[in-house]
């Protein structure tokens, strides 16, 4: 521990304080970055402001070092661990992607089995490409009316653990992009009873740590590691995140894993944003997230009065595959008005200047968080009412299924690095894919390396492309060719 006066006082923001002190003493910079507090790049300074570029600085003794923190960064991590109820917190400047990958790489090495739902973010499968671990997928149940994949059932997890007793870890989404949670406490109990680690992708669950009216957080449920997207609902700058660990994880080893890939030039803009945002949530998070919850409930009730839309929520909860629902998630089913979610997404942006988080083939997600106000929600509600009036059409013939069970033939690493050939999309049926295909956001692969390409999957890709989904992943930017195993 550095200066003990910082000890767990959530009013402090040690990185922010050190940067303010550094700004005051006006050190002459003969170090990087080369813009030298903005003087060397006046256009950048004009755009971002002196306040910002003046603290875009390099690691130095007074400011600590992200790779091996011993003072202000270490203190910021301890305050974050305290605020989130974790044994250890790590500041991540490579987004929640790097936090998720660090979890998987900590738990798994080449050949190890890891149990996970298939509707994971691509960062999880990317980690399997890097380390050579073997995925054991639990295919989530699907709500066929909404076309969305659900959580993991307790019996599915128990069955996977029984059938794969040598697996090293189980990974859980808490919540999914749509706000759906599995029975995390019971899953943690089963996983620990089997001697495995429980890893939690909590990219969309930062607020679970700050309020009584939310599903259980990973750390409160006793999970071993959790990746928390502070920049999503927590208010920090884009690309900043926390990796949380429980008491039975070796923090020194986790740090080594993080340092394999994370930059040695940690951004003080990102780190100070984590520090200040953690302080804000520790001091005011319960109050602000309760306001977000109430705003989302209001939005749901208003949207459901329009007719044709289904702003779904707590009524879905069944105590198993939908064990709990995140009440801040404003997910809206659009297919009953004859429009794909991505079509409503495009109309909202192009005609109404409203940018929502994403649209897929059946739903849209309006992301509500600490910066939203009731007047913006009312603008969204009135726009949706007008879209229904202007664009509603017969929904027959629309695709409904968001999630298609994959057939896994090879590990992600084997398939990604294998000899491959590029074929036109329709000629790939029956072949083994060697790359990713996904709509982004949410970044959940339709196809991942090592999976068999079926006609159903090809139909889905072509339908999503035609409706205007932003498709990413393949080498071919137009997604007319796919790489398959030779």
Query: In the chain, what are the domain boundaries?
Result: 285-391, 412-485
- Confidence at residue 2, expressed as pLDDT on a 0 to 100 scale: 40
Token output for 278 = 């953690």
Q: Taking the CB of residue 196, how many other CB atoms lie within 10 A of it?
A: 22
Q: Is-same-fold flag (285-391; 412-485)?
A: no
Instruction: Give every residue of the chain whose pLDDT is below 70, as ranges.
Output: 1-7, 402
The helix (H) or strand (E) run that includes residue 417 is helix 412-417
Count the residues in the chain.
Answer: 486
Cα separation, 404 vs 445, whole angstroms: 10
Q: What is the pLDDT of residue 412?
A: 96
pLDDT of residue 102: 98
Share of the chain above pLDDT 90, in %: 87
Sheet holding 169-173, edge to edge: 88-92, 241-245, 225-228, 197-202, 169-173, 113-117, 134-138
Burial of 290 (0-12, 13-18, 19+ CB in 10 A): middle
Residue 369: per-residue pLDDT: 94
pLDDT on residue 416 = 96
Q: What pLDDT shows up at residue 408? A: 92
Residue 440: predicted pLDDT: 75
User: Which option is the CATH number for 412-485: 3.40.1190.20, 3.30.565.10, 3.90.105.10, 3.20.20.80?
Assistant: 3.90.105.10
Check residue 1 and give its pLDDT: 37
Which pLDDT belongs to residue 3?
44
Pairwise CA distance, residues 97 & 127, whole Å: 9
At 25, give phi and psi (nearest 5°): -85, -5
> Quick one: CA dihedral 150, 154, 156, 157, positive or negative?
positive
Q: Specify the CATH number of the domain 285-391.
A: 3.90.1150.10
pTM of the model: 0.95
Backbone angles phi, psi at 91, to 5 degrees: -80, 125
pLDDT of residue 397: 85
């Amino acid at each position: 521990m550095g200066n003990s006066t910082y000890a767990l006082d959530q009013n402090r923001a040690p990185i922010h304080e050190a940067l303010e002190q550094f700004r005051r003493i006006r050190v002459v910079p003969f170090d990087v970055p080369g813009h030298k507090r903005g003087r060397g790049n006046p256009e950048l300074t004009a755009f971002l402001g002196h306040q910002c570029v003046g603290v875009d600085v390099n690691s130095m003794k007074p400011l600590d070092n992200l790779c091996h923190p011993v003072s202000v960064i270490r203190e910021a991590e301890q305050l974050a661990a305290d605020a989130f109820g974790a044994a250890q917190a790590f500041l991540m400047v490579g987004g929640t992607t790097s936090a998720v990958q660090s979890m998987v790489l900590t738990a798994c090495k080449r050949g190890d089995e890891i149990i996970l739902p298939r509707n994971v973010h691509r960062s999880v499968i990317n980690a399997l490409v890097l380390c050579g671990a073997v995925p054991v997928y639990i295919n989530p149940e699907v709500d066929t009316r909404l076309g969305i994949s659900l959580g993991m059932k307790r019996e599915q997890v128990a069955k996977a653990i029984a059938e794969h007793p040598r697996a090293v870890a189980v990974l859980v989404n808490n919540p999914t992009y749509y706000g759906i949670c599995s029975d995390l406490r019971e899953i943690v109990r089963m996983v620990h009873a089997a001697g495995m680690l429980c890893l939690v992708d909590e990219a969309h669950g930062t607020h679970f740590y700050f309020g009584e009216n939310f599903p259980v957080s990973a750390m409160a449920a006793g999970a071993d590691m959790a990746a928390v997207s502070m920049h999503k609902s927590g208010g920090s700058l884009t690309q900043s995140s926390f990796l949380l660990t429980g008491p039975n994880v070796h923090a020194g080893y986790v740090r080594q894993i993080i340092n394999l890939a994370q930059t040695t030039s940690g951004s003080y803009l990102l780190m100070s944003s984590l520090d200040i945002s953690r302080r804000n949530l520790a001091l005011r998070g319960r109050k602000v997230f309760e306001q977000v919850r109430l705003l989302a409930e209001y939005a749901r009730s208003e949207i459901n009065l329009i007719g044709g839309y289904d702003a779904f929520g707590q009524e879905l909860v069944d105590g198993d595959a939908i064990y709990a629902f995140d009440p801040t998630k404003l997910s809206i089913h659009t297919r009953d008005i004859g429009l794909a979610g991505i079509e409503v997404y495009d109309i909202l942006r192009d005609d109404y200047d409203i940018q929502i988080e994403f649209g897929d083939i059946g739903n849209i997600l309006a992301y509500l968080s600490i910066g939203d106000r009731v007047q913006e929600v009312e603008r969204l509600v009135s726009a949706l009412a007008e879209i229904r009036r202007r664009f509603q059409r017969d929904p027959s013939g629309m695709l409904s299924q968001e999630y298609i069970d994959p057939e896994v033939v090879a590990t992600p690493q084997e398939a990604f690095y294998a000899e491959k050939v590029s074929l036109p999309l329709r000629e790939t049926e029956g072949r083994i894919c060697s790359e990713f295909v996904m709509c982004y956001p949410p970044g959940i692969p339709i196809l991942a390396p090592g999976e068999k390409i079926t006609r159903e999957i090809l139909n889905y890709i072509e339908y999503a492309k035609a409706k205007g989904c932003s498709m990413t992943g393949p080498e071919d930017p137009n997604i007319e060719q796919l790489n398959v195993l030779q």
